[in-house]
Amino acid sequence: MRALEASLADVLGSPGVVGAALVDAVTGLTYQSAGDHRLLGTGAELAELTSLIGERLYEAGAESELESLVVTSTRHHQVVQVVPRKGDPLLLATVLDRERTNLALAVRQSADRAQDLLA
């Protein structure tokens, strides 16, 4: 059983990705991490942040569920993608090198990854 490790190694192989983590969206448990994932913070922080934003969006009247969260800094992009599944969702978080990344493409890729991460 090293399936998650393999999945995340794939993610890390994508252009521009320097770190990745797979986190439980509710409990904040980090299932797996790879590369330079420290920039993402802990799994607990990621889960807390996304659930806070997700809940506020919902309360504010958004009709749909939170899908992804993009944070840009001067050197990196962070993309946190909600991975829906039966049961509690997961979060696929990636750090991308800004120099080497097209943000729009990265978000799109992240969404695709989420689709087949657990398939």
Binding site for another protein (CB under 8 A): 1-4, 6-7, 22, 24, 26-29, 31, 41-42, 44-45, 48-49, 51, 54-55, 58-59, 61, 65, 85-88, 90, 117-119
Among residues 26 and 111, whose Cβ is nearest to another protein?
26
* Residue 39: CB minimum distance to another protein, A: 14
Query: Rounded to the nearest whole angstrom, what is the least distance from the CB of residue 35 to another protein in the complex?
Result: 18
Q: Which is nearer to another protein, 3 or 104 (CB)?
A: 3
d(CA 92, CA 49): 14
- Whether 65 and 88 have beta carbons less than 8 Å apart is answered as no
Q: Is 61 exposed, middle or buried (0-12, 13-18, 19+ CB in 10 A)?
A: exposed
Helix (H/G/I), strand (E/B), else coil: 4 = helix
Strands (E) located in the chain: 17-24, 30-35, 68-72, 76-83, 90-97
55 or 112: CB nearest another protein: 55
* Closest CB to another protein among residues 57, 103: 57
Q: What distance lies between CA 109 and its chain's CA centroid? A: 11
Question: Nearest approach, Cβ of 100 to another protein (angstroms)?
Answer: 27
Instruction: Report, in Å, the least distance between residue 101 CB and another protein.
Output: 25
